[in-house]
Structure 1
Amino acid sequence: MNVALWTVAALLAVVFLAAGGAKLAQPKAKLAASPNMAWTEDFSPGMLKTIGALEVLAAVGLILPAALDIVPILVPLAAVGLVLLMVGAATTHAKRNESRAIVTNVVLIILAGVVAWGRFGPYPFS
C-alpha cells in the first residue's frame, strides 16, 4: 500500500505543480482564453495567483517532506489542503454549470482523500 500511496501522491503532485505553475506564470487574460479555464473570469488576478501558489505548495508538500524525512506529517496535511481546494473548485464549477469539470474535481478529491486517509491512518511514515 505504501507504493500505491506514493504513486497517487506523485500523480497529484505532477497535476497540481503543472496547474499551479500555469496559474502563476500566465496572466489572467491568457488563462481565461483557454477552453477549460473560463471560470477564471470570476476571480481577480491576485486570487488566481493565490490559487496557483496553493496548488504548487500542496504539490511540493505531497512529496518533499516524506522524501527528505523532514516533518512527514505535512504530506497528509497537504492532501487535506488539496481536498479543500478541490471542494472550492467543484463549488465554483457547480455555480457555472460546468459538470465535466466537477467530475475531474471529484476524482482529484478522492485521490487526495486516499493519500490523507492512508498517511494519517494505517500507513503513516515511520
Structure 2
Amino acid sequence: MNTALWIVAGLLATVLLISTSKMFVPREKIAAVGGTAAQWVLDFSPGALKAIGALELLAAAGLILPAVLDIAPVLVPVTATCVALLFTGAVVMRLRRGEKAAVVLDLFYLALAVFVAWGRFGPESFTG
C-alpha cells in the first residue's frame, strides 16, 4: 500500500508540474496547441492562470517533499486533499463548459488525490 501511495503521489506531482506550463506559456498558444481540451484557458486572465500554476507547483512539492525530507509529513495528506479540491473545481469548470469527454481525466486525477489523502491520513500515515 505504501508503494502504491508513493507511485500515485509521484504521478500526481508529475501531472501538476507539467500543468504549471500555463505560468510561462501564453494562453493563446496553449489554446492553439492543446485543441478543444485546452480552450478553457481563454476563460481566465493571465494572472489567474499564473495563480493556478503557482498553486499546482506548491501542490507538486507538497505531495513529495514533506515525506522525503521528513519535515512535517502530515502536509502530504493535507496537500492531497487540496489537490482533490483543485480537481473538483476542474471537473465543475469542465461540466459548465460542456466538455464531457475532458472531464474523465480530471475525475481520474481527483480519484488519485482522494486515494492519497485517504491512504496518508489513514492506514499508511507517516505519523503512525
TM-score by length of 1: 0.95
* More divergent stretch after superposition (42-51 vs 30-39): 30-39
Which residue matches 1:51? Answer: 52
Which residue matches 2:81? Answer: 80
> Could you tell me which amino acid in structure 2 is paired with residue 122 of structure 1?
P
Q: In 1, Cα distance between the equivalents of 2:84 and 2:7?
A: 17
> Could you tell me which amino acid in structure 2 is paired with residue 103 of structure 1?
V
Query: CA RMSD for the aligned pairs?
Result: 0.9
Q: Which runs of 5+ in 1 are unaligned?
A: none
- SS where residue 100 of structure 1 aligns? coil
The number of equivalent residue pairs is 125
> Could you tell me which amino acid in structure 2 is paired with residue 28 of structure 1?
R
Q: Which runs of 5+ in 2 are unaligned?
A: none
Q: In 1, Cα distance between the equivalents of 2:79 and 2:112?
A: 12
Q: In 1, Cα distance between the equivalents of 2:40 and 2:106?
A: 14
- SS where residue 71 of structure 2 aligns? coil
User: 1:89 offset after TM fit, Å?
Assistant: 0.7
Q: In 2, Cα distance between the equivalents of 1:117 and 1:107?
A: 15
Which runs of 4 or more aligned residues in structure 1 lie more than 6 Å from their structure 2 counterparts after TM superposition?
A: none
Q: In 2, Cα distance between the equivalents of 1:70 and 1:107?
A: 29
1:8-57 residue CA offsets vs partner (Å, 9 max, x unmatched): 0001111111112x111111221222212101111111111111111111
1:65-112 residue CA offsets vs partner (Å, 9 max, x unmatched): 000000101111111111111111111110111011111111001000
Q: Does 1:15 align with 2:8?
A: no
Q: Sequence identity, in percent?
A: 53
